[in-house]
Amino acid sequence: MKSYDYLIIGGGIIGLSIARELKNRFPNQSICILEKESDIAQHSSGRNSGVLHAGFYYTANSLKARFTRDGNQEMTKYCEENGLKINKCGKLVVATNEAEVQGLIELKKRAEKNGVDLRWLDESEVHLVDQNVKTYKKALYSPTTSSVNPTEVCLTIKAEVIKKGVDIFCNTHYRGKSNEGINTNNGIFTCNYFINAAGLYADKIAKDFQFGEKYTIIPFKGIYLKYEKNKTDVKTNVYPVPNLANPFLGVHFTKTVDESIKIGPTAIPAFWRENYSGFKNFKFNEFYQILFYEAKLFIKNAFNFRSLAFEEMKKYMKSYFIALSLKMVKKVDEKGFGDFMRPGIRAQLLNKETLELVQDFVVEGDHRSFHVLNAVSPGFTCAFPFSRYVVDEIMEKQGKRKDIKENIL
């Protein structure tokens, strides 16, 4: 039996950042991360686009608006200070018609409210950023959008927290909560405080602690196509105007940290939580539960799920997928794309009562445990400020913030 002050489930960017924040505040407290895979960042944290978003998509009263703006600055600084690769290539958001120009206007309003640098470009000015990009009348340029290697970032944080004394146990599966503590395949772990940052399984673990009862995770599969002809046909990230009613940004060009070009991602409804390819990691209970809710969404057509599902499934056809990207550029070689890249799964929280996809961060907890139920995209960008928020909330739940304030006074 191993005992700690703080025990964290999940070795992704969120779990690692929470451990880092806790250790920075309380260097003498014992902290442990349990990760079921052979190393950290094997799921969303290591399979995301690597884009550091600027923070102009989100409404001003949302946690995502604040955390994305601040997280972009902090993660950029962290990469620079630690000698990590970062591609400060910026981002263009382009329109294809008058209705989408109105969408650009809404994004500019949100950027101004969120304190994010986002600049208008006329159609004639877009070529100054990238000569191959086309737009209708106007475009928006984000100079602070960058690309990093997400796995490299996570491994650097891992090395940092281990150096500071955090224990990380990989190949350690959560098997449930008991009176003795947290049961795993590697024995029982006890703790003064339990933190659930399990991503795709956060909702299931939360229910063992009587939290997250009105939510469930609906997984969406994200796949990219790499442009293999060259690294020069597109010079910046190029995004369409998104449908702000749902959390997906549409097929876009991503400029990676090594200057490569890829298009994507999809947002294809998956049928179990780790439905990456074939029947690997298939679990019947997950399949049954997820299919139940996806069928419910399909029948009721909540948030236009029916059309979303059909549209996303069509993206398995490479020709259709590529055609969507061609609307944003003057010329790329349609035959220059390779195979689909390694897929990722987005852990998207669904409110079972309202049948809405939850678009902001959701956390629940008490004086004994805390649960990160929704750290949806751009969770990677938001990781550092979000982890401060989480630790602040934990201190509040434990009554420690009051103690700290009293000691200061």
CA nearest to 398, candidates 214, 243, 194: 194
8 A C-beta contact, residue 268 and residue 311: no
pLDDT digits (tens, 9 = 90+) for 71-80: 999 999 999 9
Interhelix angle 13-25/379-398, rounded to 10 degrees, is 50
Q: How confident is the model at residue 243 (pLDDT cuts 50, 70, 90)?
A: confident
Residue 408 has pLDDT above 60, yes or no: no
Residue 407 has pLDDT above 50, yes or no: no
Candidate from 247-251, 282-286, 384-388 with smallest mean pLDDT: 247-251
pLDDT digits (tens, 9 = 90+) for 257-276: 999 999 999 999 999 999 99
Q: How confident is the model at residue 401 (pLDDT cuts 50, 70, 90)?
A: low
Indicate the DSSP class of residue 315: G
8 A C-beta contact, residue 234 and residue 261: yes
pLDDT digits (tens, 9 = 90+) for 123-163: 999 999 999 999 999 999 999 999 999 999 999 999 999 99
CA nearest to 339, candidates 263, 257, 253, 236: 263
Higher pLDDT, 304 or 148: 148
Q: Rounded mean pLDDT of 357-362?
A: 95
Indicate the DSSP class of residue 137: S
Distances from the Cα of 113 to the Cα of 134, 146, 176, 359, angstroms: 27, 21, 43, 18
Look up residue 408 and give its amino acid.
I
The phi and psi torsions of 277 (rounded to 5 degrees) equal -160, 145
Residue with the two structure tokens 């993660």: 75
Assigned token pair, 221: 């599969």
Percent of the chain with pLDDT over 70: 98
DSSP three-state, residue 232: coil
- Cα–Cα dist 226/261, whole Å: 6
Give one word for 34, left, alpha or beta, with left for phi > 0 and alpha for psi -120 to 50: beta
- Cα–Cα dist 146/166, whole Å: 29
- Cα–Cα dist 344/60, whole Å: 28
